[in-house]
Every structure is written in structure tokens, then in C-alpha cells.
């Protein structure tokens, strides 16, 4: 049987995937003749949209690695947006960040008390946190912003901006190169220049947090204990690890990160707190965490993909053709891989869908916007559904653990 | 002997749970560097006692002395700190962590803020070498077998510097050659001065390894013997444990009839990659016959059972009485009289968080006394559960408690009782007495024999070779999915059978 083996070393593997990704993108751009598919602006916007999703996903990693399924991320994020709006217009953006993080962490602390100490079902408690987060902020927003200058019942007064960085020496020549439209090189240039153009300080913090999380969870004894609580809390307790303590810490960190995601939306994404601002990004964060196999690297990649799709749609409707082609190429590529690995059935199904997308791109002049908007998510879902066989979630994720009880 | 220092001394330990006295006036002295066995029936209080010694539970009364010093354990950490370590019956391992991570968890070596994996690996390797317990340290635990997992547990305890090692029924999950391996390791540990406390109800094993044996009955210690000095047999120990004669699995006379109940022809089960796990086997079971299948775990036994029950896809034909059931779903097979005692009772046979009477319905929910047409009939199910509890001596306060509240042996008795209800024609039994004490074992054997005399056909799989030889009318040896030998249970010995199981020799 033919087997395609991936390179073993992690670094080489990442490069390998990047190479394939950029080539695919390049193909789609060339054939769809849609330069915006890999422009500096698209990548810049993609990163901006990826940050809140990624931070929520990172929060999910902390919580779920400790064995607490955290569906309440959305609610903690809402608390974060309110905290940022409320503190931001009065004391500036830095205090706004601190307040958002604190509010998110407080929401998580309530969640931890309910789920860890009292053993309430985590999905129900998480849903309750989401409802609480929404209701509480609606109520508080009315009190806090109605009479404030420039504020309203559902919106805070504006928050002043945070610093952002552009390294002109790098981003401008790359951006120029991108406009040349050379196969592969221009696309890679576009991707790189996006990384150096108007990068918010929170984005930098987020990247640092991803690296820090990977280090703490996998390289320190503290991290090992957190993970052990999510894998087999009974075993951990029998070795003298205080499972409750580590769950409390991890869940609180989780909420703090969700709060920071909220801060990004309220300070960088817009410059106000607005009701309904999170728009389900907490859930999408959770989905990217699963996509990323409960690991920071994969979650970051997942968030970036979501951000990219989102960015293309928001920027220009003409991008949709290119996006459809990109989806078609990815689906067909994966289908070929699967057939080569002997999974004929799923491979064929994916291939058919890829062909359908391809013909939609080739033979329609204008696709219904609704279909076009949904297509990338369907693609992602399909890829997830067929790739999810090798996922390794924490073994005791979502399990109610009570100290001293045998299992 | 009073001159030698005791590694552990327990004085008048009492422990009460709501409604039960688990331990009362337990006295135990364990000499330093000895292997001390504690034997007793299920529910005799052995496990509770060990949990007290390991700090997982606190005694209501009594004293614990370790190396002559009176101590109070608030948690396992306290016990670990004075060198007491425990290997649990149900392994306490995290599958998705590596072997090394599992071992060092809770007592990690640090290098600055980082965890010192390299240093820890070196320490663990040194210990492993010393006691010949080598393991692949960077492998995930989920990739390893039962014997390796037990070695991880032992290493875990040694890594923490334990010099008193408690093992709770360590051989219950092992196949014969793994047991030998374990005993060799325990011998090495003992010669290095480590004290071993060993809980078991397999009396032959206890006699093989122990320097001293303490017998517990009904929550209290009833006596100690020294097998190296006194001449004690398994019979003597069993009588101390239960106050009755030691039962044997031997069936009396053949009840085999000519009516074939199950005819299996060319049955095969394949993995996704196309490998045959059950490799085209054929056999017959007649009414009144017990066919035993011997084999090292993982040679296709589980898949064979699953195929017979219709849980996995298989090729070949299965004839049950007058029906060709090859394409029947599991439910239909069960309804027509196939009873099943699965390998893993907690995973496959019980809902732990459900009352006993609901567990009685499980797998029989479409038949009386559990249901009538569309509706369940809890009242008659409950009274039938009470019947099982009485007939099979399931020790439980009542039938409304959760299955998780019962000890393993009592859970098993409930399962056997359930599966023997409703006049099955064929019983598929995997390890029917695993983890069950001698008294209950005898009762289960009696029930099996009675049912066999009444015409039940039985397919029996058991890791207990004495049981397999004693109960079976004919024996087959399975190796890598194929029947490689037949054996005559009247002449074969466990040694010969054991060799055949590993492919080392042909059976008689």
C-alpha cells in the first residue's frame, strides 16, 4: 500500500506545510486572478481577526488540559469586552486590558467554584456563564454608559488606541514585491509583509502567550501537573498532586485569556464596547482548539485559517471566487491523499465536493453570496470531520472529579 | 523473631463507613525486608486496610507504626514521605502522558523553571536497571500492555524512594508468564531490602511468594502463618478465610449431549488494515457442554466473542440451534437465548452510576421480567433483582444502591446472576470468576455446573487455567487468532496448557 510519510522533525514539518499552503494559495490566486487573496492587507486583517479567536482557543487549552470543558469562554469574553469598555474610556487602554483580564478571570473563578468544588456538569455551568456574562453586561452597560459622554445603552464611550507597530523597512519592499504577481514569491512576500504591518501590541502579547503556554504546559512540572489533572485526576491525587488547586489555576488563566480576547475586540478591533461584539468567537475559539488537537501550535494555525477566511469575506466580495477555488483545491488535494492511503470512501466523497466547488467556480459568473460565504466553513468542517480520527483530547476532559472518590 | 524490627505495625485499627464496619481490631506486623501476604475474601477489608496504611483513608481508631514510629497519615503524600508506596489494583496511570511523565508526576526534578526530563530519565533508568524493570520511557502509556503498566506503577513507587511496597491484587490482571516476571521482580526487590505487602486471594501464588501470611475475615485479622516454617497448604488458608472447605472447579460427570447448540464455521474477523484477528475458526458446542478456550490475552479471544454476539463484523457462518444467526444484530441474538459475561465488567457489563435493579435490566430490557411490550416493568425487575441478590449471595445493603458501591466480586456475582436468568441456551463467559473470592467462586462454579447439567452450552474463556481445565469438557488453544491445539481436560496440566498458549509446545 502506498504511504505518504510526513517529515518527522517538527520544524521541518511546519516548513513543509507552509510551503504547500503558499503554493496552493498561489495557484488559486493565479487562476482566479484575485490578487487580494495574498495581499499584505488581507494577511494583516487575517492576523487581526485571528487574535481574539486564538486567545479564546488558548484559554480553552488551559481549561481543558486541566480536565474542565470550558464552553463558558464566550461569556468570559463578553465580560472582557465590557471590562475593557468600562475601564478604557475612563483610564485609557492599558487599564482597559487589565480590567478585561480581571473580569474574564472573575467569570472563570465563578465557573471553577461551581464545576470544581461543587461538581456541577461543566456544559451546563458553562452555558450558565454565557447567559450570565451577556445579561450582566447588558445590565451594567445601561448603568455605566447611558449618561457617559459618547456612550449609550449598548455602547461605551470610545477608548483611546493602543500602540501598533509597522516595520516599514521590511513591510514596504515586501508589499511591493507582492504586487508584482510572481508565482509563489509574491504570495510569500504578501504573507511576510502582513506580519510587519500595523501589528497591535496585543497581537504581540498573544504570540508570546502562545509560546509561553506551550513552554509551561509541556516543559515545567507545573504544566505536567495541570495536564495530569486533565488526564487522570485520580492518579494525580494518589501522587499527592492537589487536583483542585491546579484546576482552579488553569480555569482562572483560561478566563483571563478569554478576557484578553475581549479586550482586543473592544480596543483594537473597534474602539468601543458594544453589545454582542463577541459574535460567537468564544465558540469558534473552542472549535479551533479542537482543530488544533488541544495544542497551542495547532490552535494558532486553526485561528489563522479562520481569520484568513473571515478577512477575505470582509474585505471584498470579489474575493469569494478565489476563496471557492482555494477550497476546491484543498478538498481535491486531501481527497487524493486519502485515496492514496486506502480510505477510498471518504476520499471519493471529498473529491466529489471539491469537484462541485471547482465547477461552481468555473461555470458560474456570480455565485449566490450565501453559498459562497458558507463554503469555507463547510470545507473546514469536512476537513475536520475526516481528519479528527487522530485527535488526542485529554482523557478526563469534562469529567466531574470529586476528591477521595475512587473511579 | 521479636528481635527483628517491624517495617509496619498496625495496632487495633478500626474503620467504619455508614452502615458497614470495614475494619475492626485489625492487628498486623510486617517484618522488614519480608514479603507479607494478606489474604481474605472480597469484602474482608483488605483493600480498606491498605488504603489506611497508604493515607487514602483515615482510620477511626488504632495506631500505625512505620519503622517503629507512630504516625498519622492525612494523605498519600504523608505515606510517600516515610517510604510507603502503593501499586493499585486498578492502575493509576494517565494514558496520554508518557511513561516518564507518569513516573515523575508529583515529584518532579527541576532545572531552573524547567522540568529536568533528562535528569529524571537518568534516575528512572538507574532504578529500572537495578531491579530489571526496563521500560520505554518516552512511549505513551496507551501504547503499552498490562504487564508494562504494572511495571510503571512499581517504578513510580520506587522512584519516590519507597522501601515499603503495597501491591493490591497485582496478579489479577496478568497472564501466567507475566506473573512469573512479576514474582522475579518482587524477589529482586526483596533482596534489596524492600518490604513487600501483597494482597491476593490466589492462594497458590501467595504460598509461592510470601514469607508470612495474614488472613483476614469479616473485617478483622484472624491469624498469621509462616509458610516457610509451618507446613500450610492452600486448603488450610482457604479454611481460615471462609471457614469451609476449599472448592474445586472440577465438574463431576459428562453431561454432553448430541444436540449442537452453536456451530461456527470458518469465522473470521479482520482489522481495518485487513489483518485477520480471528483467523477462520470452526467449532461446535453441544447442549450440556463447556468448551474452554485457552490463550494468552490478545490472541483474538475478545474479537471471537464480539463476533459471536454480533458486535463486530465477521465472515463465515454461525448457526445457533436451528437459526443461521450470522447476520443477526446483537439484540436478536440475546433475545433468542445467548447470555454473555463480558471480560471487563465495569466497562461492558454495568452502569456504575445506576442502581442494581436497573443493571438487572441491562441487556435484557426487552424481555420479562423487565418489560412487557413497550413498557418497562420496574416492580417485577426489582423483585427479580432481589432473587438474584439472594441466590447469588450478592453482598449489598439493598438493590437501590449504585453498582459502583459494590466490590468487584459482588458486581461479578450480580452479572452472573443476571446472565443466568431467563433460561439461556448458550452462555458466552469471559473470566466469570475474575477478581472473585473463593466462596463466591465456588458459588459461581456451582451455578455453571447446574446450568450445564440442565443443558446449557457454554463457551468459556479464562485466564485461570485451573478453572478452565476443571470446568471444561473440551479445550481449545487459541494463538494469533487460530485454534492451534485441542486438549483433553482430564489429562492436561496447566504447565502443558501454558506452553501451548505461547506456542512453545503442543498440548496433550
Across the interface, do B92 and A234 touch by the CB < 8 Å criterion?
A: yes
Nearest-angstrom CA–CA distance, A14 and A300:
12
A345 reaches B (C-beta below 8 A): no
**Which residues of chain A lie closer than 8 angstroms to B94, CB-CB?**
227-228, 231-232, 235-236, 395
Predicted pLDDT at B2:
44
**Which residues of chain A lie closer than 8 angstroms to B274, CB-CB?**
none
Please state the φ and ψ torsions of residue B193, each to the nearest 5 degrees.
90, 10
Across the interface, do A231 and B107 touch by the CB < 8 Å criterion?
A: no
Nearest CA in chain B to A228: B94
User: Chain B, 395-414: which have a CB under 8 Å from a chain A CB?
Assistant: none
Residue among B77, B94, B96 minimizing CB distance to A240 = B77
Start-to-end CA distance of chain B, whole Å, equals 47
Nearest-angstrom CA–CA distance, B175 and B148:
12
| Alpha-carbon distance values, B320 to B279, B288, B309 (Å) | 20, 15, 11
Cell of A288: 479551533
Nearest-angstrom CA–CA distance, A311 and B71:
65
Predicted pLDDT at B284:
93
B12 reaches A (C-beta below 8 A): no
**Which residues of chain B lie closer than 8 angstroms to A240, CB-CB?**
75-77, 80, 106-107
Q: How many CB atoms lie within 10 A of CB B466?
A: 16
Residue among A219, A241, A404 minimizing CB distance to B105 = A241
Residue among A225, A235, A404 minimizing CB distance to B93 = A235
| Alpha-carbon distance values, B504 to A196, A201, B10, B178 (Å) | 68, 69, 46, 16
User: Chain A, 382-401: which have a CB under 8 Å from a chain B CB?
Assistant: 392, 394-395
B233 reaches A (C-beta below 8 A): no
Structural element, H or E, at residue B30: strand B20-31
B97 reaches A (C-beta below 8 A): yes
Tens digit of each residue's pLDDT (9 = 90 or more) over A244-268: 999 999 999 999 999 999 999 999 9
Nearest CA in chain A to B92: A235
Cell of A157: 464611550
Q: Is the bond leading into B369 cis (omega within 30 degrees of zero)?
A: yes
Across the interface, do B108 and A236 touch by the CB < 8 Å criterion?
A: no
pLDDT averaged over chain A? 86
Domains of chain B, CATH where assigned: 6-242 (3.40.50.300), 251-337+424-508 (3.40.50.300), 347-422 (no CATH)
Helix (H, G, I), strand (E, B) or coil at B249: coil
Under 8 Å between Cβ of A268 and A200: yes
Predicted pLDDT at A229:
95
CATH of domain A37-315: 1.10.3470
Under 8 Å between Cβ of A165 and A91: no
Nearest-angstrom CA–CA distance, B233 and B183:
19
Tell which residue, B373, B358, B467, has the closest CA to residue B418.
Answer: B358
Residue among A220, A236, A240 minimizing CB distance to B113 = A220
Nearest CA in chain A to B86: A238
Q: Each residue of B322-360: b (16+ CB within 10 Å) or e?
A: eeebbebeeeebbeebbbbbbbebeebbbeeeebbbbbb
Nearest-angstrom CA–CA distance, B171 and B185:
13
Across the interface, do B76 and A227 touch by the CB < 8 Å criterion?
A: no
Please state the φ and ψ torsions of residue B377, each to the nearest 5 degrees.
-125, 80
Sequence ranges of the domains in chain A: 37-315, 317-386
**Which residues of chain B lie closer than 8 angstroms to A407, CB-CB?**
90
Cell of B80: 510517600
Nearest-angstrom CA–CA distance, A6 and A20:
12
Tell which residue, B491, B430, B473, has the closest CA to residue B308.
Answer: B430
The DSSP bridge partners found for residue B84 are B164
Please state the φ and ψ torsions of residue B5, each to the nearest 5 degrees.
-75, 140
B93 reaches A (C-beta below 8 A): yes
Please state the φ and ψ torsions of residue B390, each to the nearest 5 degrees.
-70, -50
Predicted pLDDT at B396:
85
Q: What is the DSSP letter of A156?
A: P
The DSSP bridge partners found for residue A199 are A165
Across the interface, do B106 and A395 touch by the CB < 8 Å criterion?
A: no
Nearest-angstrom CA–CA distance, B448 and B412:
14
Across the interface, do A231 and B96 touch by the CB < 8 Å criterion?
A: yes
Report if pTM > 0.90: no
Find all residues with CB under 8 Å of B265, minimum gap 6, and list them. B282, B316, B317, B318, B319
Q: What angle do CA A26, A29, A32 make, to 5 degrees?
A: 145
User: Chain B, 65-84: which have a CB under 8 Å from a chain A CB?
Assistant: 75-77, 80
The residues of chain B scoring below 50 in pLDDT are 1-3, 506-508
Across the interface, do B94 and A238 touch by the CB < 8 Å criterion?
A: no
Across the interface, do A234 and B96 touch by the CB < 8 Å criterion?
A: no
Residue with cell 416492580: B379
Tens digit of each residue's pLDDT (9 = 90 or more) over A326-341: 888 888 888 888 788 7
Tell which residue, B404, B6, B476, has the closest CA to residue B197.
Answer: B6
Helix (H, G, I), strand (E, B) or coil at B305: helix
Under 8 Å between Cβ of A294 and A64: yes
Strands B457-461 and B290-294: parallel
CA quadruple B373, B376, B382, B388: dihedral positive or negative?
positive
Residue among B94, B107, B108 minimizing CB distance to A235 = B94
User: Chain B, 260-319: which have a CB under 8 Å from a chain A CB?
Assistant: none
Nearest CA in chain B to A235: B92
Tens digit of each residue's pLDDT (9 = 90 or more) over A117-158: 999 999 999 999 999 999 999 999 999 998 888 888 889 999
Tens digit of each residue's pLDDT (9 = 90 or more) over B261-281: 999 999 999 887 778 889 999
ipTM of the complex: 0.83
Nearest CA in chain A to B160: A239
Across the interface, do A228 and B56 touch by the CB < 8 Å criterion?
A: no
**Which residues of chain A lie closer than 8 angstroms to B107, CB-CB?**
239-240
User: Chain A, 187-246: which have a CB under 8 Å from a chain B CB?
Assistant: 219-221, 223-225, 227-228, 231-232, 234-241
Chain B nearest-CA distance from A100, in A, is 28
The residues of chain A scoring below 70 in pLDDT are 1-8, 317, 366-367, 371-373, 375-376, 380, 383-390, 404-407
B113 reaches A (C-beta below 8 A): yes
Predicted pLDDT at B225:
84
Q: How many CB atoms lie within 10 A of CB B281?
A: 21
Please state the φ and ψ torsions of residue A250, each to the nearest 5 degrees.
-65, -40
Q: How many CB atoms lie within 10 A of CB B161?
A: 13
**Which residues of chain A lie closer than 8 angstroms to B102, CB-CB?**
235
Nearest-angstrom CA–CA distance, A306 and A284:
9
Q: What is the DSSP letter of B143?
A: G
**Which residues of chain B lie closer than 8 angstroms to A394, CB-CB?**
96
Amino acid at each position: 500500500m502506498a504511504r505518504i510519510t510526513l517529515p518527522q522533525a517538527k520544524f521541518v514539518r511546519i516548513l513543509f506545510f507552509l510551503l504547500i499552503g503558499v503554493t496552493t494559495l498561489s495557484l488559486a490566486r493565479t487562476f482566479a486572478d484575485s490578487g487580494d487573496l495574498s495581499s499584505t492587507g488581507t494577511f494583516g486583517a487575517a492576523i487581526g481577526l485571528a487574535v481574539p479567536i486564538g486567545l479564546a482557543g488558548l484559554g480553552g487549552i488551559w481549561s481543558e488540559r486541566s480536565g474542565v470543558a470550558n464552553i463558558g469562554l464566550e461569556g468570559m469574553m463578553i465580560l472582557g469586552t465590557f471590562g475593557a469598555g468600562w475601564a478604557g474610556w475612563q483610564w485609557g487602554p492599558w487599564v482597559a486590558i487589565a480590567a478585561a483580564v480581571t473580569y474574564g478571570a472573575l467569570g472563570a473563578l465563578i465557573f471553577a467554584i461551581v464545576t470544581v468544588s461543587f461538581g456541577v456538569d461543566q456544559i451546563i455551568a458553562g452555558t450558565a456563564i454565557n447567559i450570565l456574562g451577556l445579561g450582566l453586561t447588558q445590565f451594567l452597560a445601561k448603568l455605566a454608559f447611558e449618561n457617559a459622554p459618547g456612550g449609550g445603552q449598548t455602547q461605551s464611550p470610545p477608548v483611546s488606541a493602543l500602540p501598533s507597530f509597522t516595520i516599514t523597512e521590511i513591510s514596504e519592499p515586501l508589499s511591493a514585491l507582492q504586487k508584482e504577481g510572481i508565482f509563489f514569491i509574491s504570495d510569500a512576500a504578501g504573507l511576510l509583509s502582513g506580519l510587519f504591518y500595523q501589528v497591535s501590541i496585543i497581537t504581540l502579547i498573544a504570540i508570546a502567550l502562545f509560546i509561553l503556554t506551550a513552554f509551561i504546559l509541556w516543559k515545567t512540572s507545573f504544566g505536567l501537573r495541570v495536564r495530569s489533572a486533565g488526564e487522570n485526576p485520580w492518579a494525580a491525587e494518589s501522587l499527592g498532586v492537589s487536583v483542585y488547586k491546579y484546576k482552579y489555576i488553569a480555569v482562572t488563566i483560561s478566563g483571563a485569556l478569554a478576557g484578553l480576547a475581549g479586550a482586543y475586540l473592544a480596543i483594537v478591533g473597534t474602539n468601543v464596547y458594544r453589545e454582542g461584539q463577541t459574535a460567537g468567537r468564544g465558540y469558534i475559539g473552542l472549535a479551533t482548539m479542537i482543530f488544533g488537537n488541544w495544542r497551542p501550535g495547532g490552535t494558532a494555525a486553526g485561528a489563522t485559517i479562520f481569520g484568513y477566511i473571515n478577512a477575505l469575506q470582509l474585505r471584498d466580495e470579489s474575493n469569494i471566487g478565489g476563496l471557492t477555488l482555494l477550497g476546491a483545491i484543498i478538498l481535491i488535494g486531501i481527497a487524493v491523499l486519502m485515496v492514496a492511503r486506502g480510505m477510498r470512501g471518504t476520499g471519493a466523497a471529498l473529491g466529489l465536493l471539491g469537484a462541485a466547488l471547482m465547477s461552481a467556480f468555473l461555470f458560474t459568473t456570480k455565485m449566490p453570496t450565501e453559498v459562497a460565504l458558507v463554503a469555507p466553513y463547510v470545507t473546514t468542517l469536512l476537513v475536520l470531520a475526516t481528519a479528527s480520527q487522530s485527535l488526542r483530547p485529554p482523557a478526563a476532559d469534562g469529567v466531574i472529579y470529586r476528591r477521595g472518590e475512587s473511579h | 523473631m521479636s528481635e527483628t524490627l517491624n517495617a509496619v505495625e498496625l495496632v487495633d485499627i478500626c474503620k467504619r463507613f455508614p452502615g458497614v464496619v470495614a475494619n475492626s481490631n485489625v492487628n498486623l506486623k510486617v517484618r522488614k525486608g519480608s514479603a507479607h501476604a494478606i489474604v481474605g475474601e472480597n469484602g474482608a477489608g483488605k483493600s480498606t486496610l491498605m488504603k489506611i496504611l497508604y493515607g487514602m483513608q483515615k482510620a477511626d481508631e488504632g495506631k500505625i507504626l512505620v519503622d517503629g514510629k507512630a504516625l498519622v497519615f492525612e494523605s498519600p503524600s504523608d505515606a510517600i514521605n516515610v517510604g510507603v508506596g502503593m501499586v493499585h489494583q486498578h492502575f493509576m496511570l494517565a494514558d496520554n502522558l508518557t511513561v516518564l511523565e507518569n513516573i515523575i508526576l508529583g515529584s518532579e526534578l527541576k532545572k531552573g523553571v524547567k522540568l529536568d526530563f533528562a535528569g529524571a530519565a537518568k534516575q528512572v533508568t538507574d532504578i529500572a536497571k537495578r531491579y530489571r524493570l526496563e521500560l520505554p520511557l518516552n512511549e505513551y502509556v496507551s501504547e503499552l500492555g498490562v504487564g508494562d503498566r504494572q511495571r510503571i506503577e512499581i517504578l513510580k513507587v520506587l522512584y519516590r524512594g519507597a522501601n515499603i511496597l503495597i501491591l493490591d491484587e497485582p496478579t489479577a490482571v496478568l497472564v501466567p508468564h507475566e506473573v512469573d516476571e512479576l514474582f522475579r521482580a518482587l524477589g529482586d526487590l526483596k533482596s534489596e531490602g524492600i518490604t513487600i505487602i501483597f494482597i491476593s486471594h490466589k492462594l497458590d501464588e501467595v504460598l509461592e511468594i510470601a514469607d508470612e501470611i495474614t488472613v483476614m475475615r469479616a473485617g478483622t485479622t484472624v491469624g498469621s502463618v509462616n509458610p516457610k516454617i509451618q507446613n500450610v497448604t492452600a486448603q488450610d488458608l482457604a479454611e481460615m478465610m471462609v471457614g469451609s472447605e476449599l472448592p474445586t472447579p472440577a465438574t463431576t460427570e459428562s453431561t454432553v449431549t448430541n444436540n449442537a447448540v452453536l456451530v461456527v464455521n470458518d469465522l473470521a474477523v479482520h482489522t481495518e488494515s485487513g489483518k485477520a484477528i480471528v483467523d477462520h475458526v470452526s467449532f461446535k458446542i453441544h447442549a450440556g457442554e463447556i468448551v474452554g478456550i485457552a490463550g494468552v490475552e490478545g490472541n483474538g479471544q475478545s474479537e471471537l466473542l464480539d463476533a459471536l454476539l454480533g458486535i463486530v463484523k465477521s465472515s463465515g457462518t454461525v448457526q445457533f440451534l436451528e437459526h443461521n444467526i450470522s447476520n443477526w444484530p446483537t439484540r436478536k441474538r440475546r433475545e433468542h437465548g445467548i447470555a454473555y459475561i463480558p471480560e471487563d465488567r465495569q466497562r461492558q457489563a454495568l452502569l456504575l452510576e445506576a442502581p442494581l435493579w436497573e443493571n438487572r435490566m441491562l441487556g435484557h430490557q426487552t424481555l420479562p421480567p423487565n418489560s412487557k411490550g413497550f413498557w418497562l416493568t420496574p416492580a417485577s425487575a426489582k423483585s427479580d433483582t432481589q432473587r438474584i441478590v439472594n441466590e447469588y449471595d450478592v453482598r449489598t445493603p439493598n438493590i437501590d444502591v449504585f453498582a459502583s458501591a459494590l466490590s468487584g466480586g459482588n458486581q461479578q456475582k450480580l452479572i452472573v446472576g443476571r446472565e443466568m436468568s431467563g433460561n439461556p441456551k448458550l452462555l458466552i463467559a469471559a473470566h466469570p470468576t475474575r477478581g472473585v473470592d473463593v466462596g463466591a467462586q465456588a458459588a459461581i462454579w456451582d451455578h455453571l455446573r447446574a446450568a450445564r447439567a440442565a443443558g446449557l452450552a457454554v463457551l468459556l474463556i479464562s485466564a485461570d487455567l485451573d478453572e478452565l481445565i476443571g470446568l471444561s469438557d473440551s479445550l481449545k488453544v487459541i494463538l494469533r487468532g487460530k485454534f492451534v491445539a485441542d486438549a483433553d481436560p482430564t489429562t492436561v496440566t496447566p504447565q502443558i496448557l501454558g506452553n501451548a498458549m505461547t506456542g512453545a509446545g503442543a498440548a496433550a
